[in-house]
Structure 1
Amino acid sequence: MTTDGFAAPPALVEHYRRFRAEGGTPATARVAATVLLLRPAGTDFQVYVIRRVAAMSFGGMYAFPGGGVDRSDSQAHLDWAGPEPATWGERLGQAPDAAQAVVCAAAREVFEEAGVLLAGPDAATVVGDVSGDDWETARQDLEGRRVGFADLLAGRQLTLRSDLLLPWSRWITPEFEPRRFDTYFFLALLPEGQRTRDVSGEADHTMWIRPADALARAEAGELTMLPPTMVTLAEVAAAGDLAGVVAASATRDAATPITPHLDLAADGTARFHLR
């Protein structure tokens, strides 16, 4: 990965120019969660990436499944396995209730966007294949907010496996962006027997790819990514293998936010830098 920053897409440069010209006030960053799904690939491993449809925020960019925390996540009362909300609060730098909502959002979003369910009949097991028609109906009801995540799990007597989510980092969208997110990044190993599916309608392309290959293609201009995605890919690639990634997650700072800053040069070129 380059050491002189990250090239800024033209649309974001235009947002920056407009914000500066109008003396804009930064929008409030909405709390969000995103999940890097990982799976073994021979002696290496792959990550699941999606390309957001052009009409969405950051459309055309490759990223990981995820989205904003919503009211249902904050009000969820569900069976819970893994670290208690107070422990999650310490890792994420949030109050216990707020941390629980972030974890719920991560699990909900990865089911809505990738068809992967991090839940099981008890604290030691995970459901298998959830790609059948009945599960797809349940996923669509969840995505359409006709049912809450807690109700979906309770109806099938399932427990949320919060221990399957590994906290990694926290990124806040630059101040000049009209839509901003305070996003917690998590990792999760693809549960045995489950498979990802392009189901949410929010992506126009999905793929499994080695982190190093995704990063190389991004640097070559074949895949468009923002700094949080590129940095995270480089970090997990540096861990070596899945065991290394899991070990690294235990000591990651997932509470201190990172915000990319745009530097506009006199010649009109623009690059993101991390400060």
Structure 2
Amino acid sequence: MRVTQSMLSNNMLRNLSSSYNKMGDLQNQLNTGKKITRPSQDPVVAIKGIGYRTDLNKVEQYQRNLGEVNNWLDSSDDALDHVGQALIRVQELVTDAANGSKTAEDRQKIQVEITQIRKQIQDLGNTKVGDKYLFTGTNTLSPLHDGTNFTATPGLNKDVKIEVYDGVEIKVNTNGIDLFRGIDEMIGKIETSLGDGSSETVISGYLTDINTQQNSVLEKRADIGARQNRVEMMENRLSSQEIIVSKQLSNNEDIDYEKVITEMITQESIHNAALSVGARIIQPSLVDFLR
């Protein structure tokens, strides 16, 4: 096949165009820090990047879910801590009322304070996170105590769970109807006994009931503490997963600057050499001589 001047010129121009494109791609990589800017440049890298970003989005969502879990558990524990303190005060008042030297007037004053503590504990049973009640099971939109009676709606002993990992859920609520109702009934009996002149023996007998309720509160708090420990482990797991996926995403998409700069310098040298050779290939035409 006869090689003409036109063929040499066209090949040279085509190679120069390809060289410009390569340098343009390398320049884009240096500007963006990414291996590709369009999926068509490398579909495999693009598909892997989508998968890694999906994993990162899931991790971020689970981290937000864990924040909500912590809100529930911390608020529940704080409420029960105040219930425990209230029971300690009831214990002190009952011990004082059981003293044989107390007059009817003294007992009335103790009864008034215990009544206020009872209302305070009822309010603690209605503790909320946002617009959701913590101690009413899945019936999160209704209070545990309406100011007169405890609610009897369904779902009070059902668990509220939040997903914190693929297929992993953590119970966030504390079933409180039995606990708060038991405490309320006990304090109601103490109020009655203080008002009807019951003996010191009857009143001191409530100390055992108070101790039982205190233990019940501690058991609930221990259960919350166990779940808080699990949440902490899940937070560590998600943090590790975030680091791993972020590293995989970086390895998949981010450039090695030293490598790209070296390729850029090499490509520039090749391009300059091509220009120099091309200047010799394209010979002056007759028109150039006539000028």
The interval holding the TM-score normalised by the smaller chain is under 0.3
Which of the pair has more CA radius of gyration? 2
Q: Which structure shows the higher strand fraction?
A: 1
TM-score (norm: length of structure 1): 0.20
